[in-house]
Amino acid sequence: MLSNTLPNEKSTTIYLYFIAAISGISGMLFGYDTGVISGAILFIRSEFNLSPFLTGLVVSAVLIGAVIGALLGGYMAENYGRKKVIIFAAIIFIFGAIFTAITPDIIFLIFGRIIVGIAIGIASFTAPLYISEASPPYIRGALVSFNQLAITIGIVISYLVDYSLAPIQGWRYMFGLAVIPAAILLIGMFFLPESPRWLVHHGDLTDGRKVLQRIRNNSNIEVELSQIQTSLKQEKGGRSELLNPKNKPALLIGIALAIFQQVTGINTVIYYAPIIFQYAGFKSSSAAIIATIGVGLVNVGMTIVSIKLLDRVGRRPLLLVGLAGMSATLILLGIIFFLPSLISLIGPLAAISLMLYVAFFAIGLGPVFWLLISEIYPLKIRGTAMSIVTEVNWGSNLVIALTFLLLIQSIGASGTFWLYGGVGILAFLFTFYYVPETKNQTLEEIEEHWRKGKHPLELGK
Ligand code: BGC
């Protein structure tokens, strides 16, 4: 009955897509500013003669900032509104881009990258939240995954910029160019409204109604408004509600997937691909960056495939196939680097394996992680739970980035890839035995499932 009165395909105005497109620029900046380091680090490392530890620190500085930003973003978005916080993030993005481009030395560079990271941490959390709160339910899933697509596109753009500027070793321009999308984000955000949900939450029903009128085509705004109010009443619980035993499975799933998404090593490829390619025998920096662009394009393409399949075949099959493929290709990478007889083939073989590995990530764990954490939490703890899980994700990302080169030095490339492959197998088993299928389930059905204290796999059965 409700579905007749709720917004449907014909009820969305073009303005909503504008909201998603503009705020999606922050996803692109997330991708750009994390990906750009893969090319820039080659030149920074030689210009400043960096040790493996300092190299790791330059790469990781952005992640240290992101951990801080994810924490701040949660607090600020709750108190000052989603729109203002994204505007704030855009200003930090601009400041960080300029700062890193003109930095006099390595300490300032690390500091500047932390600033950029704070913007990423804030935006990674508030932009999907903002889009989701403006979206009607029938399109929310697509728009959540659209954010992952924006991240992958940002990564490819960073690789292309790295490649174009490699001949002049222009790492300062690589960082500085982020100012362009950041400025577009800043200007664009001024034309967007505050989240209707946040407005209603803070007692501003009049403005909340006005915003809904602009982003919906039909006259059922009152139904939606009252639903927002009803669900807000259920959202009263604080962090202590997270410890309610009935909510523990959902929390465990989010935290485990956040760790698995990072500890299976995706960002060693995203951040260090040119170094891996050089290690595998690609002689010039440009050749290594070209191979890396291929990896980025596979990431974009397979994310699109995943978005098309998610609502048809479901989240679980994609996650399981993705994890199986990631584990297999990681084990293969370990073998390639282990056998001296493969030395003449190592470059092409490593390139093919890395691309397959990224393809399996992009079809499963990449988008499905962010999608699932936006679906599995009861309304009243969704914001807090997502914020905690996002922090765990950035924290795990940081640990992997800090340890990757040290791991390569101590247990070798083969050992490192096998280690990540082992975690991939664990993630597969965890998913197989514990991660529910949320396809075709309303958020209320999922919430009710936890309330009944049932096993996650019984969802929808
Ligand atoms: C992850 C990022 C990763 C990106 C790669 C995202 O889902 O959270 O850490 O860099 O995917 O596409």
Q: Mean pLDDT highest for which of 75-79, 176-180, 288-292? A: 176-180
Distance 123 CA to ligand 1 centre (A): 14
Higher pLDDT, 190 or 237: 190
Nearest CA to ligand 1 atom 1: 366
- What is the average per-residue pLDDT within 395-419? 90
Single-letter amino acid code for the residue at 356: L
pLDDT of residue 11: 59
Ligand 1 pocket, residue 292 CB under 6 Å? no
pLDDT of residue 2: 38
Distance 366 CA to ligand 1 centre (A): 6
Q: 344 falls in which pLDDT band (50, 70, 90)?
A: low
Distance 303 CA to ligand 1 centre (A): 11
Single-letter amino acid code for the residue at 326: M
Nearest CA to ligand 1 atom 5: 152
Higher pLDDT, 427 or 337: 427
Ligand 1 pocket, residue 366 CB under 6 Å? yes
Domains and CATH numbers, the chain: 9-458 (1.20.1250.20)
- What is the average per-residue pLDDT within 97-104? 95
d(CA 272, CA 59): 9
Nearest CA to ligand 1 atom 3: 267
Between CA 99 and CA 105, with CA 103 as vertex, the angle to 5 degrees is 150
Distance 297 CA to ligand 1 centre (A): 14
- What is the average per-residue pLDDT within 9-27? 81
Is 120:62 a contact under the CB 8 Å cutoff? yes
Distance 200 CA to ligand 1 centre (A): 32
Helix (H, G, I), strand (E, B) or coil at 12: strand
Ligand 1 pocket, residue 270 CB under 6 Å? yes
pLDDT of residue 124: 85
Q: 405 falls in which pLDDT band (50, 70, 90)?
A: confident
- Closest of 356, 354, 363, 352 to residue 304, by C-alpha: 363
Q: Which residue is associated with the tokens 């390595």? A: 106
Q: 5 falls in which pLDDT band (50, 70, 90)?
A: very low
pLDDT of residue 101: 96
Q: Does residue 230 have a pLDDT over 80? A: no
- What is the average per-residue pLDDT within 373-391? 79
| CA torsion through residues 376, 381, 387, 391, sign | negative
d(CA 275, CA 268): 10
- What is the average per-residue pLDDT within 332-342? 81
Q: 73 falls in which pLDDT band (50, 70, 90)?
A: confident
Higher pLDDT, 261 or 124: 261
Is 245:236 a contact under the CB 8 Å cutoff? no
- Closest of 223, 246, 26 to residue 212, by C-alpha: 223
Distance 41 CA to ligand 1 centre (A): 19
For the ranges 93-97, 360-364, 400-404, which has the lowest average pLDDT? 400-404
Ligand 1 pocket, residue 299 CB under 6 Å? yes
Question: Exposed, middle or buried by CB within 10 Å (0-12, 13-18, 19+), for 415?
Answer: middle
Ligand 1 pocket, residue 148 CB under 6 Å? yes
d(CA 339, CA 447): 50
Nearest CA to ligand 1 atom 10: 267
How much is the mean pLDDT over the chain? 86
CA atoms within 13 A of residue 230's CA, in its CB half-sphere: 7
Ligand 1 pocket, residue 303 CB under 6 Å? no
Q: 210 falls in which pLDDT band (50, 70, 90)?
A: very high
Distance 187 CA to ligand 1 centre (A): 26
d(CA 386, CA 392): 10
- Give the global pTM: 0.90
Tell me: the pLDDT tens digits for 132-184? 778 776 777 678 788 899 999 999 999 899 889 988 999 999 999 999 999 99
Ligand 1 pocket, residue 266 CB under 6 Å? yes
Q: Which residue is associated with the tokens 């889009």? A: 131
Distance 359 CA to ligand 1 centre (A): 13
Higher pLDDT, 341 or 425: 425
Ligand 1 pocket, residue 158 CB under 6 Å? no
- What is the average per-residue pLDDT within 232-260? 82
List, in sequence order, every residue forming a beta bridge with 12; answer none if it has no partner. Answer: 216
Distance 269 CA to ligand 1 centre (A): 11
Ligand 1 pocket, residue 268 CB under 6 Å? no
Q: 404 falls in which pLDDT band (50, 70, 90)?
A: confident
Ligand 1 pocket, residue 295 CB under 6 Å? no
Q: 64 falls in which pLDDT band (50, 70, 90)?
A: very high
- What is the average per-residue pLDDT within 385-406? 89
Distance 425 CA to ligand 1 centre (A): 19
pLDDT of residue 257: 97
pLDDT of residue 399: 92
User: Rounded to 5 degrees, what are φ and ψ at 375?
Assistant: -110, -30
Q: 74 falls in which pLDDT band (50, 70, 90)?
A: confident
Higher pLDDT, 369 or 235: 369
- Closest of 434, 397, 437 to residue 70, by C-alpha: 397
What count of residues does the chain have?
461
Distance 10 CA to ligand 1 centre (A): 32
Question: Which atom of ligand 1 is found nearest the CA of 393?
Answer: 8
Question: Which atom of ligand 1 is found nearest the CA of 151?
Answer: 12
CA atoms within 13 A of residue 346's CA, in its CB half-sphere: 21
